[in-house]
Chains A and B, each alone.
Chain A
C-alpha cells in the first residue's frame, strides 16, 4: 500500500486527479487502482522501473489513453470520457514533451514551434515569428528556425520539442523521460531547463523518469510507481529514508535477488 508522506502537509489545489484508475493491455495489468493528485505549482516526478505504466499515466492526462475503470480529472472536470474535440480546451493548457521528441520531420524547427500557435492562436505572422524566436532562445536554441529536425542532435531535438511544448504558455508541462538517451551533461542541461521554465513561467510539471539524478534535482515531490500501484510518495529526503526495500533498491540502482537468481540460471 502506498505510504503517503505528504498526508499531513497543507492541502494545495489539485490540478490533475486520478481516481482508482485501472488500465490493462491484453493480459498485462499496467495501472492497478491508481488514486493520486498532482498539485498545482509543483514539479512532481513519477519514478519507477521501465514498463510500470509511467508513460501510460501521462497519456491518460492528455486523453491519448482512457482508463478501463476509474476517472481522470483536470481541476474539477472529468476528462477521461471526453473525445478529441472535448479535450481540445484542456490540451491547449498542457504542454507535452515526448520521449522521442516527436518533432515533425517534414517541418523546420521554426515551423515545429509555430505549429500550436498557428493551430490555436490568432497571433499575426510577425507575432508568431517573435514568439517562436523567444521560445527557442529560452531553451538555448536561438537562430535555429531554418534547421530541419534531422540536422539536430538528441539533446537539441529535446530542447526544440520543449520550446514547442511551451509555445502556448501552458499551465502544466508533462515530460516523458526527458533525459533518456542523453549523456550526463546533456541530461543536466535538460534538468536545468526544467527548473528554469518552472521558475520563469510558473508552470506545474509532471516528469516521468527513471533517472534518479534528474528526479532528485527537479522534483518537489517524488512518486514511485511499481506493479501498477503507487508504493511511495514524498519529498526527495523522505524517499531516501523510505522503509520499503523496493524503493531503496530502485534509488541505489540495485537488482533484486530474484533477478540475480534468474540471471545465474541462464
Chain B
C-alpha cells in the first residue's frame, strides 16, 4: 500500500506539472496579446501615414527584400517545378495522359508550391535578417535611442519593413510561379519529349484568374506574417548575441508555423468563396 508521503509526493509532482502548464499557458497568452498590440500599432501607423521618410525607407527595403531575393526565389521555384515534372510524368505516362502533365504542374505551382515555397524562403532570408537587425538595434540601445528622441520605433523601423514585405512577397511569388512552370516545362517538354502545344493547352485550361489570385492573396498574408513576426521577435529579443540568435530561430519557427496555419485557413476560406462565386464548378482549391 502506498504511503502518505508517496501519495503527497505524487500529488506534489502533478501539481508541479499543472503549475508549469498553467504558467506556460499564461505566458503564451501574454505573448500572443503582446504580438497583437504590436501588430495593431503597426496598422495604426500605416493608416495614419507614417511620414515621408518612412515611405522612402520602404522603397529601400523593397529593393533589399525584393530585388535581392529574386535569385534565391527563382532557383527554388525552378527546381521545384522541375521536380514536380520528374515525379508526376511517369504516373501520367502510365495511364497515357502525359500531355496533361502541364495542368498538374501549373495547379500545384500557382496554388500551393509557389506561395508556400516563396514564403518559406523569404521567412528564412528576410525574416532572419530583419530579426537579427532589429534585435541588434535593441541590444545596442538603438531602439531606446529612437524613443528617447521622440521617434516612434514602430513607425520608423517596423512600418517600412512590413510594407515592403507585404508588397514584395506577392511579386516574388509571381516570379517563383513563372520560373516553376518553366522548370516543369523544361523537364516535361525538352527532356521527356511531351509535346509543347498540349502542355500549354492543358496548363492554360486548368488555370483561371481566380487561381492565380488565390496564390497572390495567400502571398499577401504570408508577407504580413513573415514581417510582423520577424519585427516583433527582433523588438522583444533577449540580451547579448545569444538573445539575438534565439530570437532569429524563434522568428523562423513561429513564422513557418503561422505560414502553414494561415495557408490552411486561407485555403478553406477561398474554397468557400470559389464555391459561392462559381457554384457549378468543381472546387480545386
Contacts and interface: CB of A to CB of B under 8 A. Distances in A.
A102 B141 contact: yes
B141 A99 contact: yes
B152 interface: yes
B190 interface: no
Query: Lowest 4 A-B CB distances belong to which pairs?
Result: A102-B145, A102-B141, A88-B150, A96-B148
Interface in A75-107: 84, 87-88, 91-92, 94, 96, 98-100, 102-105
Interface string B113-139: 000000000000000000000001100
15 contacts: A62-B147, A63-B147, A64-B147, A84-B152, A87-B150, A91-B148, A91-B150, A96-B145, A98-B141, A102-B140, A102-B141, A102-B144, A103-B142, A116-B149, A119-B151
Band of interface residues on B: 10 to 19
A260 to B, nearest CB: 29
A94 B141 contact: no
Nearest to B154: A84
Contacts of B68: none
Interface of B: 53, 136-137, 140-142, 144-145, 147-152
A87 B152 CA distance: 11
Nearest to B149: A116
A217 interface: no
Interface residues of A, number: 23
Contacts of B148: 62, 64, 91, 94, 96
Nearest to A119: B151
B144 A64 contact: yes
Nearest to A112: B145
Contacts of A92: 150
Contacts of B144: 59, 64, 98, 102
Given A59-B144, A62-B147, A100-B140, 13 more contacts: A64-B147, A84-B152, A87-B150, A91-B147, A91-B149, A98-B144, A102-B144, A102-B145, A104-B137, A105-B137, A115-B151, A116-B150, A119-B151
A119 B150 contact: yes
Contacts of B141: 98-100, 102
Contacts of A84: 147, 152
B147 A98 contact: no
Contacts of B149: 91, 115-116, 119-120
Contacts of B140: 100, 102, 105
Contacts of A100: 140-141
A59 B140 CA distance: 15
Contacts of B142: 102-105
A118 interface: yes
A59 B144 CA distance: 9
B265 to A, nearest CB: 33
Contacts of B145: 96, 98, 102, 104
A94 B145 CA distance: 12
A116 B150 CA distance: 8
Contacts of A62: 147-148
B192 to A, nearest CB: 49
A119 B147 CA distance: 12
Q: Which of A99, A105, A116, A119 has the most CB of B within 10 A?
A: A119
Interface string A162-192: 0000000000000000000000000000000
B64 to A, nearest CB: 11
Nearest to B140: A100
Nearest to A115: B149
Nearest to A91: B150
Contacts of A63: 147
Contact of B53 (A59, A91, A118, A120): A118
Q: Which of A63, A84, A102, A118 has the most CB of B within 10 A?
A: A102
Contacts of A96: 145, 148
Contacts of A119: 149-151
Contacts of A103: 142
Contacts of A91: 147-150
